Structure 1
Amino acid sequence: MLPDDLCARLRDTLLEQGFTTTGVRALLGPGAHAALTRGELEAPARATRDAGTLGALVRLFLLGGAEEKPPLPELDALVAGGLLTSGPEGYRAAMDLRPYGEADVGGEADWYVLSDLDTPAARQDRDHVTGVGGASLTLASSLIRTPVRETLDLGTGCGVQALHASRFSGRVVATDVAPRALEVARATLALSGVRTVELVEGPWLAPVADRRFDAIVSNPPFVPGPARVEYVYRDSGRAGDAALAGLLADLPARLNPGGRAQLLGSWLHVRGEDWPERVRSWIPAGCDAWILQREVTDPALHVGTWQRDAGLDLSAPATRAAASEWLDWLDAARVEAVGFGFLLLRRHSDDGAGRPGEVVVEDLPGELADPLNLEMAEWLDRIDWLGAHASDEALLGARLRLSPGATLERYSVAGAEGWTDAGAAVVLADGPQWRHEVDEPAAALLAGCSGALPLDDLFALLSFAHDRPVDALVRAALPAVRELVRHGVLVPA
């Protein structure tokens, strides 16, 4: 693997040549860049024809092309370090090296992510180190950016989450069970100029058994299946979702009070069991948790998706035999479907004493219009506010206002005499776009939430306007008000 000093010189060269996310996007233009993200190579190849040294780097590292003499330092050392190969056609990339970045209030970060080539043959290697994929981007976009002293990146792989964590952490500790993954992550960090990450080898939380952190981030092996490890990046070695359940049980001991953990995971929908209650049972006492189910797949789609991800020929006899074994296991475990989504956990006490943890398990509706990081941070703030207003008296004395992103939608159904009003819903236009059905008194209450009056005064006005007993309105509406606060439809004034 590439030594740190060579990575530093390579980084300088790549930056000088403009091989950055901004530089590549500007060179290719919107159409060719979009084609590249779809895996269509001809349009970006045409855009690099007269693009000089930057074009050569794009062809070499992003298009899989051969270059007679790439504009890079110490080519022989890059070959010896495994980044390049040389042959009659010239030099080719032996690993995936691509620019990566993140923009925030601190400016644009120019990073480089190293990983194994994303080819069918390479993906079938047991120790294959994946690069920046959909799961990595999904998790990164959900990370709370509130500054912390120290973050643990559990199962770092190529080091993507450690890069992001370095932006809001004084120090990052990154672990992995695979020595090769740590070597790749070390090169990724050196190529990115990030020096605040400590790399530690070992399984799960074992390498940090005597340490605590302010934040933990993990994209763990979360694919439910038989107890096996065919691919280290994917398989936990434990049957079904037992590894995720065990990890959630162990995480609080590695968090400082108030510390947070964010991860992706998959859970089984088992016949005869309520899946939210099943997942909720995994959360230890003394913790708040938000589990957001993003996708649900049937067993056949689950198996096919991960066989395609491994680059397997789905029609090959060996692949079909493996699929049959996997489906047999799911059937024996009474699995009806497999869920996937986000998990946010916060430790709020040392011993589980004090207020009970707020544990919410729900589906995430529709397409995500915005990254989830702000929503995750605000959710924790909102449940803290609700905890401080846990009594009906405290909540009724609070002033709330309707979120600026909330709209009221009314809908009708067609009947024999035309359209008939069928209901209404308040919908958030930003974030997860939460939707809540409301009746007329609830719609009127929301319209009155401007922050000028406490809730008890609004209920009194509502009682007079709708000729309904105020106590009945309060009993019916307060649980919904708490839900609307938790989803950010109503916010403290």
Structure 2
Amino acid sequence: MTAVSDTPAPAPDPRFAALLAADLDAADFRSEPLRRLWGEEADDALGRGLRAPILRAIDGDRSPLATLGRLFVLGIPQPIADVAEALARIGIDGLATLGLARTDAEASVVRPLALVRPQSFVDADGVGEWWIASDLDEVALGTALPADHVLGVGGASRTLAELVIPQPVGRALDLGTGCGIQALLVARHAGTVVATDISARALAFAELNAQLNGVRNIEFRHGSLFEPVAGEAFDLVVSNPPFVITPRVDGVPAYEYRDGGLVGDALVEEFVRAVPAHLTAGGVAQLLGNWESRAGAAGLDRLASWVPSDLDAWAIEREELSPLGYAELWIRDGGTTPRDAAFTPLLEAWLEDFAARGVTAVGFGYVLLRRSMSGAPPLRRFEHVAQPISQPGRALQGGLAAHDALAGGIPQTLLVSADVTEARHLLPGNDDPSVIELRQGGGFGRTVPVDPALAAFVGACDGDLTVAQIVAALADLFEVPLADLWTDLEPRIRQLVLDGFLLTSTEQE
């Protein structure tokens, strides 16, 4: 692995960035036109690291779109004349000024120094697309990634983007901004955004990306964790921090974009303990992270112990890997496979590191913290959710709203969510179901077993009858004392409200 990149960081310049954006726009350099140009199958193959299908599809095509596709999407040198035609406004010299390419006069080509790829998104305000510059990837470099590599938009970035609660805020913080994608997205519904990173190279890319996309309400600051914003508070904090657990021993590569330099899950712990001081009243923090399960202490329990008792906390563990599975995942992510001589020494280093702390598993998931103003007892929810989640940002927003609405007790009326269905399982020859389930089509996609009384209650929540009227009618129907039925139903109704099966009037608006 190269210690650091031998390519200088980009040099943001608003004038040249605007000219490049105009050229990209003129060439229709966007996701769908590119996908049509080289075909869906070739486009999908690129996501698996295969660029040959694209090259075959556009072989001989010297149009501006094809030229820019090869230059910026694939990172392949292009003839000087073709690039000059495709970038008539900024010109090759302007491109070099931004640090995105250099001219190789001897070979008569322009050599890319970075990738620039269109990235589409969907949020509460509609559909849009950014141009995102990042370092050349392994395929373009032909070597392993350098330690200071600045990643483009990956799976983790997209995951965090989907998680962010879609509501307007005044001040937002993107901690560990990387290429700046979260800051760009948050800037659409924030008055101002502060984007920080310990990597000056990453900040250069992030600032350039803001300029390319005409976003002007982001301020960029250099530094580790919360040092650049000491004494400041925000309405929203988002972070895809370098949370990967990496052995701190010689010979194990550390990548700035994924490794925070601390032992085990200490970086996530430090973030969770420090962020409350930077939240305004009602402020929310959302991050991705890993947490270790150690002998006698489950990962989610350890995470819960880091959260101050006066904060709302909702953590969702999406998967849990064994030490072996986790080590193999991140060794491969660094470009080393079992065929390479370095693989076994790296694997042993990871396993020894985990063994030294008694690690039995590593969880990955999402954490939401909030400084609530509702007056309700703090939300404390730490759960494992493996099934697919639909629009998780809205689901989290709904869960917080439900928690607040329940502060004064179960509301007078409830409405069953439109995505809820009921499934009944009967043994052959029986009229009475042996199992009744409520299933959630959206949100967290939960399935909840219920008894006939709770199923009947949910079925009657059409917004017309009050909760009291429904329970009284069920007490008569099932011939049980009203007080006993309410004692049985009340906690389960509360949970269905929290889980989004039943909506309060606030959530219906």
Shared fold per TM-score greater than 0.5:
yes
Q: Which amino acid is the alignment partner of residue 418 of structure 2?
A: P
Output the CA distance in 2 between the equivalents of 1:188 and 1:115.
9
Determine if the alignment matches structure 1 residue 67 to structure 2 residue 78: yes
Residues 420, 36 of structure 1: alpha-carbon distance in 2 compared, 3 angstrom cutoff: farther
Alignment of 1:364-375 (within 5 A): 364-368=385-389, 370-375=390-395
Deviations 1:451-474 (A, max 9, x none): 222222222221222222322222
Residues 105, 140 of structure 1: alpha-carbon distance in 2 compared, 3 angstrom cutoff: closer
Q: Which amino acid is the alignment partner of residue 15 of structure 1?
A: D
Which of 75, 98, 103 aligns to 2:117? It is 98
Which of 263, 266, 269 aligns to 2:293? It is 269
Which residue of structure 2 aligns with residue 293 of structure 1? Answer: 317
Determine if the alignment matches structure 1 residue 222 to structure 2 residue 222: no
Conservation of the 8 A alpha-carbon contact between 2:177 and 2:206:
yes
Output the CA distance in 2 between the equivalents of 1:482 and 1:418.
31
Determine if the alignment matches structure 1 residue 491 to structure 2 residue 466: no
Determine if the alignment matches structure 1 residue 476 to structure 2 residue 488: yes
Q: Which amino acid is the alignment partner of residue 465 of structure 1?
A: L
Which residue of structure 1 aligns with residue 64 of structure 2? Answer: 53
SS in 2 for 1:451: coil
Output the CA distance in 2 between the equivalents of 1:355 and 1:423.
34
Determine if the alignment matches structure 1 residue 10 to structure 2 residue 24: no
How far off its partner does 1:82 sit?
3.5
Which residue of structure 1 aligns with residue 405 of structure 2? Answer: 385
- The runs of 5 or more residues in structure 1 that have no matched partner are 390-394
Deviations 1:117-169 (A, max 9, x none): 22076653221111100000000111122111111000001111111011111
- The runs of 5 or more residues in structure 2 that have no matched partner are 1-9
Residues 365, 451 of structure 1: alpha-carbon distance in 2 compared, 3 angstrom cutoff: farther
Task: Pick the structure with more strand per residue.
Answer: 1
Alignment of 1:415-430 (within 5 A): 421-430=433-442
Conservation of the 8 A alpha-carbon contact between 2:293 and 2:299:
yes
SS in 2 for 1:195: coil
Indicate the percent of aligned positions where both proteins have the same amino acid: 36
How far off its partner does 1:245 sit?
1.5
Deviations 1:88-135 (A, max 9, x none): 262232212101233446454342111112207665322111110000
Deviations 1:178-228 (A, max 9, x none): 111111111111112111111101100011012111111100011124457
SS in 2 for 1:453: coil
Conservation of the 8 A alpha-carbon contact between 1:111 and 1:193:
no
TM-score by length of 2: 0.88
SS in 2 for 1:136: helix
Alignment of 1:138-153 (within 5 A): 138-153=159-174
Which residue of structure 1 aligns with residue 450 of structure 2? Answer: 438
Conservation of the 8 A alpha-carbon contact between 1:136 and 1:219:
yes
Q: Which amino acid is the alignment partner of residue 218 of structure 1?
A: S
How far off its partner does 1:301 sit?
1.1
Output the CA distance in 1 between the equivalents of 2:201 and 2:108.
29
How far off its partner does 1:3 sit?
3.5
Output the CA distance in 1 between the equivalents of 2:182 and 2:368.
15
TM-score by length of 1: 0.91
Residues 190, 457 of structure 1: alpha-carbon distance in 2 compared, 3 angstrom cutoff: same
Q: Which amino acid is the alignment partner of residue 91 of structure 1?
A: V
Which residue of structure 2 aligns with residue 392 of structure 1? Answer: none
Conservation of the 8 A alpha-carbon contact between 2:79 and 2:108:
yes
SS in 1 for 2:76: coil
Determine if the alignment matches structure 1 residue 312 to structure 2 residue 336: yes
How far off its partner does 1:67 sit?
1.6
Q: Which amino acid is the alignment partner of residue 93 of structure 2?
A: D
Which of 332, 347, 355 aligns to 2:371? It is 347
SS in 2 for 1:161: helix
19-28 vs 187-196, which moves further: 19-28
Output the CA distance in 2 between the equivalents of 1:25 and 1:383.
43
Conservation of the 8 A alpha-carbon contact between 2:12 and 2:207:
no
Conservation of the 8 A alpha-carbon contact between 1:2 and 1:78:
no
Q: Which amino acid is the alignment partner of residue 415 of structure 2?
A: R
Alignment of 1:43-192 (within 5 A): 43-49=53-59, 50=61, 52-69=63-80, 70=83, 71-72=86-87, 73-79=90-96, 81-87=98-104, 88=107, 90-104=109-123, 106-119=125-138, 124-192=145-213
How far off its partner does 1:401 sit?
1.4
Q: Which amino acid is the alignment partner of residue 271 of structure 1?
A: A
Deviations 1:287-315 (A, max 9, x none): 11211111111111101111111112434
Residues 355, 381 of structure 1: alpha-carbon distance in 2 compared, 3 angstrom cutoff: closer
Output the CA distance in 1 between the equivalents of 2:49 and 2:440.
34
Residues 481, 55 of structure 1: alpha-carbon distance in 2 compared, 3 angstrom cutoff: same
